[in-house]
Amino acid sequence: MRRFTSVHDLIAGPGLTAALEDALEFARHPWINADVGRRKTIGLLFMNPSLRTRMSTQIAARLLGADTIVLNAGSDSWTLETRDGVVMNGSSTEHIKEAAAVMGAYCDVLGLRTFASLTDRTADYAEEILEKFIAYAGVPVVSLESATRHPLQSFADLLTIEQFKKKPRPKVVLTWAPHPKALPQAVANSFVEWMNVSDVELLVAHPKGYELSATFASGAAVTNDQNLALDGADFVYAKNWSSYEPYGQILSQDMSWTVTTEKMALTNNAKFMHCLPVRRNMIVTDEVIDSENSIVIAQATNRVVSAQTVLYHMLKGLA
């Protein structure tokens, strides 16, 4: 596997079912492939802060015997120019072409974390930064979240649903929830994309105006009635995102969309999910996230497993 930027790379590689089986095996026996990464180095470039992705990828690499080097663009390293053909007489000190090529010359696998600009939708949805990085890296690249997707998160989410589901085809609700800042659509897009190829009944709930890009949402059932959506749900995945049209805007901070105990009472004793970091008492009340049905830490824990599975398939291909 030369790239992991969406579920489609996994499907085209080992296959989703096989990858899920690998992941469940790694979850049970973390050290069973502790040599596949011997004398290999994984370089991780972060253009944004991160806790789970940063730590879980390092842990995953180590479980496979590989070393990691972590770099924060703009503080550890240089500010990156990502546009082509520009006269670099401004504040950006290095072009992503050289940064990617040099990191690729030093490392065996690279990871890149970037966020949506939320101002240039065309560039964001073309994944310009990630695709340039891949084009120039010369080695396999794993997305550590990009402008429009967060595939290691979604893989961990799917794995978590597999581990906690009580029926073959659970009802999974992705619900928008309020947040004080404009956030990317990446986690929501990606979750829908993964659920659409998995054996679940997905329903997306959001206020009017928060429709996701058709690229991701076209296969998914959608409602603007959160209560209706929650009825009988087995999993409730809360997440904020900003609007796709107009792009990157906060259209609502409607606190009636916060996931509360009363909302959870509408469900089939659903598990509560969130990718973290979460704004408590905006997205979800303390009572819900601190309840027994909250599986957010299990989700975060599975970030190690999803990263390990993806890196395993990349490293295996390098031998």
Binding residues for a copy of itself (CB under 8 A): 31, 39, 41, 43, 46, 49-52, 54-56, 58-59, 62, 67, 69, 71-72, 74-78, 81, 84-90, 93-95, 97-99, 101-103, 105-107, 180, 276-282, 286, 290, 296-297, 300-301, 304
CB 237, min distance to a copy of itself, A: 16
| DSSP string for residues in the chain | --EESSHHHHHHTT-HHHHHHHHHHHHH-TTTTTTTTTT-EEEEEESS--SHHHHHHHHHHHHTT-EEEEEETTTTSPPEE-SSS----SS--EEHHHHHHHHHHH-SEEEEE----SS-HHHHHTTHHHHHHHHHH-S-EEESS-SS--HHHHHHHHHHHHHH-SSSS-EEEEEE---SS---SHHHHHHHHHHHTSSSEEEEE--TT-PPPHHHHTTSEEES-HHHHHTT-SEEEEE----TTTTT------GGGSB-HHHHTTSSSPEEE--S---BTTTB-HHHHTSTTB-HHHHHHHHHHHHHHHHHHHHHTT-
Angle (nearest 5°) at CA 312 between 310 and 313: 70
> For a copy of itself, which is the closer residue by CB, 279 or 316?
279
CB 179, min distance to a copy of itself, A: 8
> For a copy of itself, which is the closer residue by CB, 83 or 169?
83
CB 58, min distance to a copy of itself, A: 5
The tokens 């107009």 sit on which residue?
Answer: 246
> For a copy of itself, which is the closer residue by CB, 76 or 245?
76
CB 77, min distance to a copy of itself, A: 4
CB 165, min distance to a copy of itself, A: 21
CB 130, min distance to a copy of itself, A: 18
Which of 128, 148, 146, 126 has the alpha carbon at shortest distance from 136? 128
> For a copy of itself, which is the closer residue by CB, 61 or 161?
61
> For a copy of itself, which is the closer residue by CB, 74 or 207?
74
CB 52, min distance to a copy of itself, A: 6
> For a copy of itself, which is the closer residue by CB, 98 or 254?
98
For 27, half-sphere exposure in the C-beta direction (CA atoms, 13 angstrom radius) is 20
> For a copy of itself, which is the closer residue by CB, 49 or 209?
49
CB 131, min distance to a copy of itself, A: 17
- What residues contact residue 161 under an 8 Å CB cut-off, 6+ apart? 170, 172, 198, 200, 235
> For a copy of itself, which is the closer residue by CB, 100 or 212?
100
> For a copy of itself, which is the closer residue by CB, 144 or 296?
296
CB 40, min distance to a copy of itself, A: 10
